Amino acid sequence: MIPARRGLAARFKITDRTGEGKHAYSSLPVEAWSDDGGALVVGEKSGDLERADNYGNFVGVCEETYPEIVALIPAGAWRVEHTDKAGAEPWSEPLVAWGLSVDGAVYPIASDGNGDTEVLEHTKHSTWRVYHPETTEVPGMTETDSSAPSRRGRVN
C-alpha cells in the first residue's frame, strides 16, 4: 500500500432519481494506492480501505476541485437562484450551509429534492447566484460591472 497525496478524489456517478437525465457525481478522498495501483477509499459501510473500482459506479480519479471542507456554518435565510436554460424561468431554493474549507475559503452548499448536497463552485459556465432575500441590488450597477459587488460563486 502506498499513501496518496492530499487533493485526489475517486469519483462516482450517482443514479438519476428524477428521470430528467441529469448527471451527478459524488467523490471520496483517495487515501492510498494498492500495490497494483488501484485507488483505495474508506468504505462507507465497512470503514475499511476498499478499492474504488470495486464499486460499479466508479468513474475515475481526479483532482479535488475545491479544498476539503472542515466546518459547516448554518446558512440562515441565504438562497441560491438557478437559471439552467436560456429563457427558462429561474427558480430558487434555500442553502443548507456554508462550508469552511481548510484554506479559509467559504463555499455555499445546496441540497436537491432528494437530499443530495452539493458544494456550489463558480465557473464561467455557472448558472446560479447566491443571495439573501433582505438585500437589495446596488443602484446603477449590473453584475457585468467589474466594480459591482458580486455574490456569485465562491465567497471569500
51 and 95 in a single domain? The answer is no
pLDDT value of position 73: 94
pLDDT value of position 139: 55
Q: How do the pLDDT tens digits run along the chain, 156 residues long?
A: 888 887 889 988 887 666 666 667 788 889 999 999 999 999 888 889 999 999 888 999 988 766 778 899 999 999 988 886 666 788 888 899 999 988 788 889 988 777 778 888 766 556 788 888 887 665 554 544 433 333 333 333
12 and 71 in a single domain? The answer is no
Instruction: Report how far residue 2's alpha carbon sits from residue 60's, in angstroms, rounded to the nearest whole number.
Output: 18
**C-beta separation of 137 from 148 below 8 A:** no
Instruction: Report how far residue 60's alpha carbon sits from residue 128's, in angstroms, rounded to the nearest whole number.
Output: 27
82 and 151 in a single domain? The answer is yes
21 and 77 in a single domain? The answer is no
**C-beta separation of 100 from 73 below 8 A:** yes
35 and 52 in a single domain? The answer is yes
- Cell numbers that stand for 17 in this block: 432519481
What total of structural domains would you count in the chain?
A: 2
pLDDT value of position 39: 95
36 and 51 in a single domain? The answer is yes
pLDDT value of position 18: 63
117 and 46 in a single domain? The answer is no
Domain that holds residue 102: 65-156
Distances (CA, A) of 16 to 13, 31, 74, 81, 139: 9, 27, 28, 21, 41
Boundary-marking domain end, from 31, 63, 95: 63
92 and 43 in a single domain? The answer is no
